[in-house]
Structure 1
């Protein structure tokens, strides 16, 4: 049985980085021990996940993480990859356990912090999500998506000033991202700054006509 997942407006949170995680994992695993059986298991698991076969993905990651030839960072990335697959299956408690194991092994991997932050956000654990996004930003100060998602966590907590500050940073880093601009417009609207909100919604539409604003 899957657990309840908090309903989140899709545009508010930039999704988990499966592709980035997979790429980092493959590079690190190959450097660690490219001929190990665990490397093949990891490749097969990633391929299964891309094809939507999450059961096979989880099983493959479970085999790969047992390879004694991999170091701490390699195993951390594998636990994180399995956590991502478990979350996609709705097994959020198990996913969180894997992310916790991942960060115990590889605490300085920003992609793991970011993905665990998204999981915690979805579980309504906003303070913990903010802490993970903050650490991801500490590790990569140019991570616009982490600023955006931290802004969304502050927004969910009702702290509009902090939300605005984070959305401003996201937009400053990637001004052409329609979702970031749209999210900032939501905060302006919540603050009663309707003129600024409309400006952002119009800008978001000009950047991406498909983006859904509160004015649609």
Structure 2
């Protein structure tokens, strides 16, 4: 059985000597995959997998995204993998996870999943992401839609692997503590106990 990273690289047809960032969400303009594509223009040592399909009539966005990848000369570094059922394995196989939404989301599940997978997460500074990530401690936050800021954050992670590892370690610990099964069960027990006490 292949290690997770080797599997992702082989599956996507990417080089095994360069790091890979993953974006995991349905294809939609407000999910901001185009922001990552723009950022990658100035981060030549980074490859990307974009996992998710076009739903709810977003086919034109997918076509535009593909055209943007080609126009930027990134077709050798960026792969659109479409809808996948093996997202946890793919997430384990990338080096970084990005959450690129241009609009605030109440809860970015992908952020928590990336943290639990032990990956450094870069997310947009909006909505629930600001409650999930302590910027510079458990991940990095960038302004929504700001490709230059995203590129800068990615360059920081690439330039300082020890920092990236610390962010991943702290993020994973916090996500497991906050969203782990034991805490979930304990919270349910408290809620039931409180309801029964009434």
TM-score surpassing 0.5? no
Higher fraction of strand: 2
Higher fraction of helix: 1
Higher relative contact order, chain-length normalized (CA < 8 Å, sep 6+): 2
TM range (shorter): under 0.3
User: Normalization by structure 2: what TM-score?
Assistant: 0.28
Instruction: From the CA coordinates, give the structure whose radius of gyration is larger.
Output: 1
User: Normalization by structure 1: what TM-score?
Assistant: 0.26
